[in-house]
A and B are shown apart, each in its own frame.
Chain A
Amino acid sequence: MYSQGLIGSGEQTTETPEFLAAFQARIDADEKIEPNDPMPAAYRNTLIRQIGQHAHSEIVGMLPEGNWITRAPTLRRKAALLAKVQDEGGHGLYLYSAAETLGVSRKQMTEELVSGKAKYSSIFNYPTQTWADIGAIGWLVDGAAIMNQVPLCRCSYGPYARAMIRVCKEESFHQRQGYEIMLKLAEGSPAQKEMAQDALNRWWWPSLMMFGPPDGESEHSDQSTRWKIKRFTNDELRQKFVDATVPQAQRLGLSLPDPALAWNEVEGRYDYGEIDWDEFWAVVKGHGPLNKARVAARKKAWEEGAWVREAALAHAKKRAARHTAAIAAE
């Protein structure tokens, strides 16, 4: 953030048609919007919601994978998974700091997450049952995230775009380590290959759901596109992901759990089957397998860390007071 507090991020913008047109003209000219710039309240609020959800997703995303750190099959896998989970934590922090430039506080965002009010990516409400799930997550979930995030590097809001550049640089290792895990299992014993296939079966559809509801049902899409927060629609990104992923699955010798999946010669893309949107909305609304456990884990960490935050602040104040006293005594 860049001292957004100095020039009143809470300041009301006067949203006359002239103001909105001038803002749109800046966007159309591909100018980046920076924290202290005048911006429509709806632009600010859309970004606060989107960046906040994105940050929460990174933080909650540490939980399903953290589940396997102590049980990784080799030291090499363990070191990689630990580094990956640490990256997710870092990504959450870059994103929280980008959201804070818009005038929302970290504390406010954390409280919304632990109270269950804030949303995060619904994929993290599914359990990681076997080691192959770690492979499938890296390959598919991080793969889908990259599809979403690469265009965000060109988002009109400067701090978000800059955070996404760092995130994308780091995510590529995540996807590769996941695919490598899948490859090893797919080339292993029949039981190992079966484990990889089972993980793919369970993660494929939720991965497709990560791109959000189909175009036309997505309430925020049009305005976000005009403001260049979004560069592609949900369905466009989903299609790119399917087209990129099908050959990767073939290379693994695994099959995707979709009988309707077929190459469409005319369109030059893969057709895929109907997504179960009822399942998607149920998970978004809190009825996924692990929604309650995920929020409870964050709440526990937040509450049990309260004394540490308190002690750190008390220590800082005591040292500052001693320093002042020492200077006064000289």
Chain B
Amino acid sequence: MSEAEEIPLWEVFIRPRNGLAHRHCGSLHAADAEMALQAARDVYTRRGEGLSVWVIPSAQIVASDPQDRDLLFDPADDKIYRHPSFYNIPDDVGHM
């Protein structure tokens, strides 16, 4: 192998059972998608952890910058009118 070359990195997502979303559980190195799936099975599901596995090349993930956290997420903090408890409904209306 050309010694400079790294075997690509993949992110592994597992669905523990139907009805739940796939959840990130770790990463691994594999030359192609098929080998990544097989390796994910061996590395991350030795005890019935999953019914379905996704593998995604790590290089394909676009992530937000933690330094932008306030810029991105602060605007949601002061909009309490987006929550049901903001509205006053008399008790005698019953559950709503």
Interchain CB contact under 8 A, B26 and A312? no
Known: A3-B63, A313-B5. A97 touches B26 (CB 8 A): yes
Which residues from B are CB-within-8-Å of A97? Answer: 26-28
Q: Does A146 contact B (CB under 8 A)?
A: no
The 0/1 profile, CB within 8 Å of B marked 1, for residues 1-35 of chain A is 11101110000000000000000000000000010
Among residues of A, the one whose C-beta sits closest to the C-beta of B24 is: A2
Among residues of A, the one whose C-beta sits closest to the C-beta of B27 is: A97
Q: Give Cα distance in the complex from A91 to B83, angstroms.
A: 43
Which residues from B are CB-within-8-Å of A65? Answer: none
Which residues from A are CB-within-8-Å of B43? Answer: 90, 93-94
Stretch from A100-108, A186-194, A243-251 contacting the other chain? A100-108
Q: Give Cα distance in the complex from A105 to B43, angstroms.
A: 19
- Number of chain B residues whose Cβ lies closer than 8 Å to a Cβ of chain A: 30
Q: Does B67 contact A (CB under 8 A)?
A: yes
Known: A6-B62, A94-B26. A1 touches B1 (CB 8 A): no
Q: Which of A83, A166, A312 contacts B7 (CB 8 A)?
A: A312
Q: Give Cα distance in the complex from A296 to B65, angstroms.
A: 42
Q: Does B61 contact A (CB under 8 A)?
A: yes
Q: Give Cα distance in the complex from A163 to B25, angstroms.
A: 9
Which residues from A are CB-within-8-Å of B6? Answer: 105-107
Q: Give Cα distance in the complex from A2 to B61, angstroms.
A: 8
Q: Give Cα distance in the complex from A3 to B47, angstroms.
A: 27
Majority secondary structure of chain A interface residues (helix, strand, loop or mixed): helix
Among residues of B, the one whose C-beta sits closest to the C-beta of A2 is: B63
Q: Which of A7, A107, A320 contacts B65 (CB 8 A)?
A: A7
Interchain CB contact under 8 A, A306 and B1? yes
The 0/1 profile, CB within 8 Å of B marked 1, for residues 309-320 of chain A is 110110110011
Interchain CB contact under 8 A, B63 and A310? no
Stretch from B29-37, B74-82, B86-94 contacting the other chain? B29-37
Known: A306-B1, A319-B32. A87 touches B61 (CB 8 A): no
Known: A312-B31, A316-B31. A1 touches B9 (CB 8 A): yes
Which residues from A are CB-within-8-Å of B52? Answer: none
Interchain CB contact under 8 A, B46 and A90? yes
- Minimum CB–CB distance from B50 to chain A (whole Å) comes to 13
Q: Does A36 contact B (CB under 8 A)?
A: yes
Known: A90-B46, A170-B47, A315-B32. A3 touches B7 (CB 8 A): no
Q: Does B66 contact A (CB under 8 A)?
A: yes
Q: Give Cα distance in the complex from A223 to B56, angstroms.
A: 37
Interchain CB contact under 8 A, A163 and B26? yes
Known: A306-B1, A316-B32. A36 touches B9 (CB 8 A): no
Interchain CB contact under 8 A, B11 and A1? yes
- A3-B63, A106-B29 provided; 18 other pairs, C-beta below 8 A? A1-B9, A1-B58, A2-B24, A3-B61, A6-B63, A90-B44, A90-B46, A97-B28, A100-B9, A100-B27, A106-B7, A163-B26, A166-B25, A309-B1, A310-B2, A313-B31, A316-B31, A316-B35
23 A-B pairs whose Cβ atoms sit less than 8 Å apart in the complex: A1-B9, A1-B11, A1-B27, A2-B11, A3-B63, A6-B63, A7-B63, A38-B67, A90-B46, A94-B26, A97-B27, A98-B26, A100-B9, A100-B27, A106-B29, A107-B6, A166-B25, A170-B46, A170-B47, A312-B35, A313-B7, A315-B32, A316-B31
- A-side residues, CB < 8 A to B, are 1-3, 5-7, 34, 36-38, 83, 86-87, 90, 93-94, 97-98, 100, 105-107, 162-163, 166, 170, 306-307, 309-310, 312-313, 315-316, 319-320
